[in-house]
Structure 1
Amino acid sequence: MEKSFETERLLLREMRTTDDAGMFELDSNPKVHRFLGNNPVKNIEESRAYIAILHQQYKETGIGRWAVILKSTGAFIGWAGLKLEKHPVDGQPYYDIGYRFIEAYWGKGYGSEVATAFLDYGFNVLKLPVINAYADADNAGSRKILEKSGLRLLHSFELDGLSAVWYEIKATDFLR
């Protein structure tokens, strides 16, 4: 059974194979990939392969990136969610909160809305003790979302020759 929940404006659900066109629109835009290694996808098959990877992650870990659907129109606007990751420097496992949106939906508050919703899901449903995130140090938009959602900047580090920042929020701080 597909997992899902809603916020005021958004439906958050597991990714479907039929989300491939939306994923391609999202990940083929070079502006979306500015802080992600500047490597946009070149064809829809790459988007389909990514969706298959997400389905495998759902099976293996029970979580992953989910589709973000605008309730008022039914439009796929991006993805968000929690994912079990390995720290990019020391390789230690951690739960990452992430999000990515089609450019037309930037600056409308959806990032903070989904981040807060997934923090709530992570702490209240999954009972995680801590959730982390990292971003390119120059990605002011993503950093604003993380900070508005309650994550605290802990430190910066170098990743592939670029400056990155590490954020954290503990369940005890979120649930206050």
Structure 2
Amino acid sequence: MRIFVETERLIMRELLPTDEAGMFEMDSDAEVHRYLGNKPVTTRAQVQEVIAFVRQQYVDNGIGRWAVEDKQTGAFVGWSGLKLVAGPTNGRTHYYDLGYRFLRRYWGRGYATETAQAAVRYGFETMQLPLICGIADVRNEASNHVLQKAGLCYGNTFDLDGLPHHWYQRERPA
């Protein structure tokens, strides 16, 4: 198991097939998918496909979302990190997207902000990325806040699948 980043409370590591149960609990929760198109998974096979897809992103792109684990308990709490998006999205192609998703029972603990800030540091310092972007449904106040706390700046509002979303981005500091 490869660990990419450690924060004070969390380990950000490669997503593994053994994360299936946690991923299923998270992605089958309609409330978790409230601002993600309202399409929660219904089978473990769907989760297995997602895990395989993310693991292939590690091979193809050198990056993909990471599992987030509680340091004290070893519990899977969600995923966070960067991924390369081919696009086009909001007129952009081949950009690195910052994202995060957590089991509902772990909401409100600051994990999204903690991991988003760590992922941005990793992207700029380790990967030397020139730009990191993020997208959030305009109604998702919590996610919009996290992207701002991670240092991304509002760019514009655009239509994504018929819904208004905010686009954020941040260039690597000089």
Shorter-chain TM range is: over 0.9
Residue 84 (structure 1) aligned with residue 84 (structure 2) = yes
Structure-to-structure mapping, 1:52-131, within 5 angstroms: 52-85=52-85, 86-90=87-91, 92-131=93-132
Where has structure 1 moved over 4 Å in runs of 4 or more? Answer: none
**What is aligned with 1:155?**
156
Farther-moved stretch of structure 1 (63-72 vs 87-96): 87-96
Paired with 2:170 and 2:91, the residues of 1 have a C-alpha distance of 19
**Which residue type is aligned with residue 170 of structure 2?**
I
Which runs of 5 or more residues in structure 2 are unaligned? Answer: none
Which runs of 5 or more residues in structure 1 are unaligned? Answer: none
Q: How many residues align?
A: 173
Secondary structure of the 1:108 match is coil
1:129-165, Cα deviation, whole Å (9 max, x unpaired): 1100111011101001011111110100111211111
**Which residue type is aligned with residue 131 of structure 1?**
I
Structure 1 position 72, deviation (Å): 1.0
Distance 1:89 1:171, change over 3 A: closer
1:55-93, Cα deviation, whole Å (9 max, x unpaired): 111000000001000111110000011100124243511
2:78 touches 2:102 (CA, 8 Å); kept in 1? yes
**What is aligned with 2:46?**
46
The percent identity for this pair of structures is 49
CA RMSD of aligned residues (A): 1.2
1:87 touches 1:94 (CA, 8 Å); kept in 2? no
2:3 touches 2:11 (CA, 8 Å); kept in 1? no
Paired with 1:89 and 1:144, the residues of 2 have a C-alpha distance of 20
Paired with 1:72 and 1:160, the residues of 2 have a C-alpha distance of 39
**What is aligned with 1:166?**
167
Paired with 1:79 and 1:96, the residues of 2 have a C-alpha distance of 13
**What is aligned with 1:10?**
10
